[in-house]
């Protein structure tokens, strides 16, 4: 679900502007994982899986994808799975070093595709996950009910004072999540002449808690959010209508003045991993499910506090036919 990077991606360039990745490879990422160490053994077409290095980006929807893929790789294909907690851009750097075999929920990132797929040729796009990604600005339901016209961006300046916080410098606040998420929000504020400032909550969890408290206490919040996301089953956030997206309206990140596009979320793997054509690669290539499937597993993890393995097992046990279709054909 990023800094002025491509016009696509899970939330700024799920949820502010995508921050540009450092040029050095030895970058420490979320959870302590880093790019710049030993190569992986990604298996081959012989049927032996070997080690499968799976990037895990910092939002629970991605974690749900990774949990199920890892569980199936371990239990059905006997892979040794190493999960690596990495920010989006840092994960792409790992394709060239052999430390990352697969990213299993990519939100656009046309700039990274150009760099790593077209130019460096260290990565390959292996198709969609089946999830449709939506990014936008949302308000809690109580606000939409009390101020119906607030869902039209043209009226946002009228309500700016209501959204002021200690961090927004006298302007209204647009609350974003993790600064590494795909976001155009700073450009939108500027180019739509909105009397607002983007403030980062710091994580998906903090963003969810802000919306939850706003609905419970009937306090104002305008924030970046996205689907697929289990939280909509708890609170039906209401989307603000920004100027409609048209092809190319986000081509220049600094000039974006339109809503986010609908993202067909996809899977990116290292070229070395793809060329080896091992069981783990075939699993990733074949993997596809729905927003409802992902939300179910994400809710197990985020709300029911199940471990990713336990959440994956519960879903896999109930969806054996779907899983069977992902497995390599013997």
DSSP symbols for 73-135: HHHTS--EEEEEE--HHHHHHHHHHTS--EEEEE---HHHIIIIIIIS--EEEEEEEEEEEEE
- Position 14 in a domain: no
Residue with tokens 């074949």: 286
Residue where one domain finishes, among candidates 196, 230, 255: 255
Q: Does the pTM of the predicted model rise above 0.85?
A: no
| Interval 80-98: pLDDT, tens | 999 999 998 999 999 999 9
- Kindly state the average pLDDT of the residues 130-142: 96
Asked whether the predicted pLDDT for residue 177 surpasses 50, the reply is: yes
Q: Is 249 helix (H, G, I), strand (E, B) or coil?
A: coil
What sign does the dihedral 227-311-71-87 (CA atoms) show? positive
CA–CA gap between residue 300 and residue 320 (Å, rounded): 18
- Position 104 in a domain: yes
204 and 147 in a single domain? The answer is: yes
For residue 329, what pLDDT is reported?
86
**Confidence band for 24, pLDDT divided at 50, 70 and 90:** very low
CA–CA gap between residue 310 and residue 313 (Å, rounded): 5
Closest CA to 15 of 231, 290, 193: 231
212 and 285 in a single domain? The answer is: no
168 and 117 in a single domain? The answer is: no
Q: Give the Å distances, CA to CA, from 294 to 2, 111, 229, 299, 314.
A: 22, 26, 8, 8, 13
For residue 110, what pLDDT is reported?
87
- Position 1 in a domain: no
Closest CA to 168 of 200, 143, 191: 200
Q: Is 10 helix (H, G, I), strand (E, B) or coil?
A: coil
231 and 138 in a single domain? The answer is: yes
- Kindly state the average pLDDT of the residues 299-310: 96
For residue 42, what pLDDT is reported?
46
Residues 299, 140 contacting (CB under 8 angstroms): no
Residue where one domain finishes, among candidates 207, 235, 255: 255
Asked whether the predicted pLDDT for residue 15 surpasses 80, the reply is: no
| Interval 29-83: pLDDT, tens | 333 344 443 344 444 444 589 999 999 999 999 999 999 999 999 999 999 999 9
Mean pLDDT over each residue of the chain, to the nearest integer: 88
152 and 251 in a single domain? The answer is: yes
Asked whether the predicted pLDDT for residue 3 surpasses 60, the reply is: no
For residue 37, what pLDDT is reported?
39
Q: Is 227 helix (H, G, I), strand (E, B) or coil?
A: strand
- Position 152 in a domain: yes
Q: b vs e for 225-244, b when ≥16 Cβ sit within 10 Å of the residue's Cβ?
A: bbbbbbbbeebebbbbebee
CA–CA gap between residue 95 and residue 205 (Å, rounded): 28
188 and 149 in a single domain? The answer is: yes
Residue where one domain finishes, among candidates 216, 231, 255: 255
239 and 310 in a single domain? The answer is: no
246 and 283 in a single domain? The answer is: no
CATH code where residue 276 lies: 3.40.190.10
173 and 90 in a single domain? The answer is: no
- Domain count along the chain: 2
Concatenating the DSSP letter of every residue in 176-220 gives: E--TTS---HHHHHHHTT-SEEEEE-SSHHHHHHHHHHHHHHT--
174 vs 18 pLDDT, higher one:
174
- Position 105 in a domain: yes
111 and 53 in a single domain? The answer is: yes
- Position 114 in a domain: yes
122 and 139 in a single domain? The answer is: no
50 and 87 in a single domain? The answer is: yes
CATH code where residue 145 lies: 3.40.190.100
Range of the domain at 69: 27-133+264-326
- Position 57 in a domain: yes
Which residues, including other chains, have CB under 8 Å from residue 296's CB and lie 6 or more apart?
230, 315
**Confidence band for 210, pLDDT divided at 50, 70 and 90:** very high
Asked whether the predicted pLDDT for residue 227 surpasses 70, the reply is: yes
For residue 17, what pLDDT is reported?
34
For residue 249, what pLDDT is reported?
96
- Position 213 in a domain: yes
């Amino acid at each position: 679900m990023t800094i002025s990077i491509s016009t696509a991606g899970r939330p700024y360039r799920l949820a502010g502007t995508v921050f540009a990745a450092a040029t050095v490879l030895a970058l420490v990422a979320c959870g302590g994982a880093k790019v710049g160490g030993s190569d992986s053994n990604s298996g081959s077409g012989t049927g032996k899986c070997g080690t499968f290095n799976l990037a895990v980006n910092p939002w629970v929807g991605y974690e749900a994808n990774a949990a199920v893929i890892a569980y199936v790789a371990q239990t059905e294909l006997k892979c040794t799975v190493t999960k690596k907690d990495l920010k989006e851009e840092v994960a792409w750097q790992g394709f060239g070093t052999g430390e990352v075999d697969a990213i299993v929920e990519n939100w656009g990132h046309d700039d990274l595709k150009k760099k790593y797929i077209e130019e460096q040729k260290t990565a390959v796009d292996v198709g969609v996950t089946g999830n449709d990604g939506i990014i936008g600005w949302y308000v809690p339901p109580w606000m939409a009910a009390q101020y119906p016209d607030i869902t039209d961006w043209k009226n946002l300046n009228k309500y700016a004072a209501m959204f002021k916080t200690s961090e927004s410098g006298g302007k209204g606040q647009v609350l974003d999540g993790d600064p590494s998420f795909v976001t155009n929000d700073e450009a939108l504020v500027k180019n739509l002449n909105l009397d607002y400032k983007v403030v980062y909550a710091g994580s998906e969890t903090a963003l969810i808690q802000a919306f939850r408290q706003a609905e419970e206490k009937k306090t104002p919040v305008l924030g970046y959010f996205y689907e697929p996301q289990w939280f909509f089953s708890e609170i039906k956030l209401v989307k603000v209508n920004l100027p409609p997206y048209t092809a190319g309206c986000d081509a220049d990140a600094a000039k974006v003045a339109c809503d986010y596009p609908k993202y067909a979320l996809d899977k990116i793997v290292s070229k070395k991993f793809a060329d080896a054509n091992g069981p783990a690669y075939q699993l990733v290539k074949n993997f596809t499910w729905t927003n409802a499937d992902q939300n179910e597993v994400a809710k197990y993890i985020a709300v029911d506090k199940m471990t990713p393995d336990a959440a994956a097992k519960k879903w896999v046990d109930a969806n054996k036919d779907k899983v069977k279709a992902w497995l390599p054909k013997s």
